[in-house]
Amino acid sequence: MSTGRAVPDKILTNHDLEKMVDTTDEWIVTRTGMKIRHIAEEGVVTSDLAAAACRQALERANVTPEAVDVIIVATITPDMPFPSTACYVQDKIGAKNATAFDISAACSGFIFGLVISNALIKSGSYKNILVVGAETLSRMVDYSDRNTCVLFGDGAGAVLLQPSDGKRGLMSHFWESDGSLSHLLFTPGGGSKHPATHETVDQKLHFIQMAGREVFKYAIKAMSSAANIAIEKAGISVEEVDLLISHQANNRIIQATAQMAKVPPEKVYSNIENYGNTSAASIPIALDEAFETGRLKAGQRCLMVAFGGGFTWGSAVVQF
């Protein structure tokens, strides 16, 4: 497995946000752990970030774009409703032999992509699969709503999955959904329920809406339970986990999940202060950083766990 990431240079700080809405750096840091987030420049779209992350993952593995069999992009901020962002990525990186499609599982999208691609690899028919989490959430955020605008950032992370010997790879996974709670975190406009009209735009239906406190409660419960299940299914003890990478939605959620899953603080990865919540991109960005900085090395085990709109949640134990 090789990894890559792409994050825009432009930065939005808590102090910038203080000038835009009624908030403070102190509130944001205390409640979320976030300090800055990266924002795509005008004209840069989700597939640009995804393609850059994919190119890096391919270069590091010394694999040509022509050798890629499948591209899966997990995103809630596609370039357009259709075609898929994955098709744009295919074209941009020159992966002319690949099948490309998107999946929609919000912040759990990368874990869901990992599970799907693992099954494809195990089928024996595919050798190189790119799984990408990519978002330009700044395009879907209402920068006059302090409840949401301080939280989200843009970026992309990619992994290249290949068949491996029996020891390395996905040891276990768990994934689940509860559509009855969809109204707690969603973007109501722009689909078949509220097609774009002047009215839907006036009513701001094209922006992310979230019942933060409710989501917070469910996220901790679901993520800690998912973490425990993946560890159990992998047949290992929590002491045998080398690093926990949680979806970076809120530092309090990350710490509470770790505590409930009994993962000690020194094994918990957090980069939320530098990116905010990048939805499907947060785990692969963290994974790439963890390899780059030596927090994660070949031979080690990583537990990943995510939660997002749908609701969707999931976890995986990967042996590198």
Among 247, 250, 251, 274, the active-site one is 247
Of 26-34, 50-58, 81-89, 260-268, the window that binds ligand UT7 (rule: CB under 6 A) is: 26-34
- Separation of alpha carbons 176 and 216, rounded Å: 17
Pair 173, 115: CB distance under 8 Å: yes
Tell me which of 23, 200, 255, 300 binds ligand UT7, using CB under 6 A: 23
Q: Which two tokens stand for residue 17?
A: 């946000």
Q: How many CB atoms are closer than 10 A to CB 81?
A: 9
Q: How far apart are the first and last CA of the chain?
A: 8
Active site residue 198: no
111 binds ligand UT7 (CB under 6 A): no
| CB 22 to ligand UT7: min, Å | 7
- Separation of alpha carbons 70 and 43, rounded Å: 26
Active site residue 247: yes
Pair 19, 50: CB distance under 8 Å: no
Among 54, 87, 107, 302, the active-site one is 107
Active site residue 107: yes
| Region 32-51 residues binding ligand UT7, contact defined as CB under 6 A | 32
Of 35-43, 79-87, 212-220, 229-237, the window that binds ligand UT7 (rule: CB under 6 A) is: 212-220
31 binds ligand UT7 (CB under 6 A): yes
Given the DSSP bridges, would you call strands 185-186 and 209-210 parallel, antiparallel or unpaired? antiparallel
Q: Which is nearer to ligand UT7, 84 or 277 (CB)?
A: 277
- Separation of alpha carbons 249 and 25, rounded Å: 17
Distances (CA, A) of 100 to 1, 63, 284, 310: 19, 17, 19, 23
213 binds ligand UT7 (CB under 6 A): yes
| CB 30 to ligand UT7: min, Å | 9
Tell me which of 39, 70, 219, 285 binds ligand UT7, using CB under 6 A: 219
Distances (CA, A) of 178 to 181, 184, 283: 6, 11, 21
Of 42-50, 71-79, 187-195, 213-221, the window that binds ligand UT7 (rule: CB under 6 A) is: 213-221
Amino acid symbol at 23 = T
Active site positions, annotated: 107, 247, 277
Q: Which residues bind to ligand UT7, rule: CB under 6 A? A: 23, 27, 31-32, 107, 146-147, 150, 212-213, 215-216, 219, 249-250, 253, 277, 307-308
